[in-house]
Every structure is written in C-alpha cells, then in structure tokens.
Amino acid sequence: NAGVMQNPRHLVRRRGQEARLRCSPVKGHSHVYWYRQLPEEGLKFMVYLQKENIIDESGMPKERFSAEFPKEGPSILRIQQVVRGDSAAYFCASSSTGTGLEKLFFGSGTQLSVL
Amino acid sequence: GNSVTQMEGPVTLSEEAFLTINCTYTATGYPSLFWYVQYPGEGLQLLLKATKADDKGSNKGFEATYRKETTSFHLEKGSVQVSDSAVYFCALSENGAGSYQLTFGKGTKLSVIP
C-alpha cells in the first residue's frame, strides 16, 4: 500500500511534554497538508508545506506548533509543551500538485491524547 | 468565514435502506463541494465532488447535487450495504488561490446492519 502513512496511530503525552507526529506522503508527492480535528468539530486546515518550504501556515497556532517537510524523510508536526486542549486527531494529506483536490490523499490520522 | 454543517450521527440503517446525510454550507464565494468517506482504520477518501451550482456528483451509487439556492449538498444512496459503514465528511473549498484549504463538517458515522 503506497498511501499516506502516519505514525504513531495513537500518542499519549503528559502536559508539558513534546509531541512529534510523522507523515510519509505518497511516493513522489511533494505537497503535504496537516489538518486537526478537535473533539466535536470538523477537520481544520493547519499548514501546507512543499519540500523544504512552508507555503501557508495560516491555520497553525502561533505558539508551540511547528511543521517541517525536509528534503529527505517524512513531514513532522511538532507540538511543544502540550496542553489538554491539544488533544485531537491530526490528519496529514499529500498531493503531487498544489491544486486539484481530487488528487488529495489522506492518512488515517494520529490521535493525540494529553493527560 | 466558511463553514459546513452536517447532520449529527450516528446513523444506523438496515441493509438496502435509503440514505440521506444532510449538509449545508456557508461560504463567501462560490466554492467547490465534496464528500469524503473514512472507512474504519483508513484515511479519508474523496467520494464525490461538484464544482458549480446544479452539478451532480456521483460515485459508488452515492449522489449529491450542488444547490446554491439552499446552500446544500446532501448525500444520498438508494440502497445501502454493510460495506458502506463509515464516517462521511462534507467539505468545501474556495476556488482559486487557497483552493487547497478544505473546510470540513464534523462527520457523520453510518452503521449499516444486515
């Protein structure tokens, strides 16, 4: 299966710890998007990255959150000093171009639980 | 800002029953509309889409019509199967710049029983 791979599937952290979520896009895809689904809400756009560049981070909280998509390796969403309100499902998607949403592939998500 | 409202779940139906999942939207422009499906343990997959008013998207027996006058994009299927059990998400995106940003509803969980 050459789909979008996210790991871990479930991540438990205590308040104040760091969370690192990984996303390996479909092979050959250079565009990655992160979405967050808070409890009882729809998925919300966080950030759009293209290899080594952040294209749009308008949906990212200003503090504690960062994302990268290096030349080699997976995209990483990093949350520092997690708080209970960060508990959510985090979805990654990838595409071969920046447009044409019918070509967008999603991973199955990482469920982050902050104790 | 943009928003999508879809009917609360969970929805439980018997096999071969008729399915409707309501979806309405608020958008500043003329968005494209989508239905995504998430089967257990898998990522979201595009089910169907419509890009302008009165367009009908269809796939796997599912249909949805873009109704600009009622700002709706209701999902329907005439006869559901157990394999249709999944979470269904309605979504929109603005056309043009920023079109990669999807705005999703909360999702509706469908369970189909034999």
Q: What tens digit of pLDDT does each residue of B76-86 get?
A: 999 999 999 99
Chain-chain contact of B49 with A43 (C-beta, under 8 angstroms): no
Residue among B29, B102, B73 at smallest CA distance from A42: B102
Residues in Cβ contact with A72 at an 8 Å cutoff, skipping those fewer than 6 apart: none
- Contacts A33 to B, Cβ<8 Å: 100
The residue that leads in pLDDT, B25 or B41, is: B25
Degrees to nearest 5, angle at CA B67 with B62 and B70: 125
Q: Closest partner residue to A91 among B44, B93, B103, by Cβ?
A: B44
Q: How far apart are CA A106 and CA A35, in angstroms?
A: 10
Residue A65, chain B, CB below 8 Å: the answer is no
Q: What tens digit of pLDDT does each residue of A19-36 get?
A: 999 999 999 899 999 999
Confidence of residue B49 (pLDDT cuts 50, 70, 90): very high
pLDDT for residue B99 is more than 80: no
Residue of chain A nearest B93, judged by CA positions: A101
Confidence of residue A41 (pLDDT cuts 50, 70, 90): confident
Q: Closest partner residue to A99 among B36, B38, B99, by Cβ?
A: B99
Two tokens, residue B36: 């995504």
Chain-chain contact of B32 with A101 (C-beta, under 8 angstroms): yes
Residue B2: what pLDDT?
87
Chain-chain contact of A45 with B89 (C-beta, under 8 angstroms): no
A105 SS3 class: strand
* β strands within A3-107, DSSP E: 5-7, 10-13, 19-24, 31-37, 44-50, 53-56, 65-68, 75-79, 88-95, 105-106
Residue of chain B nearest A103, judged by CA positions: B46
Chain-chain contact of B101 with A56 (C-beta, under 8 angstroms): yes
Dihedral sign computed on CA atoms, order A20, A26, A30, A34:
negative
pLDDT for residue A1 is more than 60: no
Residue A102: what pLDDT?
63
Stretch A61-82: mean pLDDT: 96
Residue A82: what pLDDT?
97
pLDDT > 70 fraction of chain B, expressed in percent and rounded: 97
pLDDT for residue B48 is more than 70: yes
Residue B51 CA, chain-centre distance (Å), reads 13
pLDDT for residue A100 is more than 80: no
Stretch B2-18: mean pLDDT: 93
Residue A91, chain B, CB below 8 Å: the answer is yes
Half-sphere exposure of A36 (CA within 13 A, CB side): 19
Alpha-carbon distance A40 to nearest alpha carbon in chain B (angstroms): 6
Residue A101, chain B, CB below 8 Å: the answer is yes
Stretch A89-107: mean pLDDT: 83
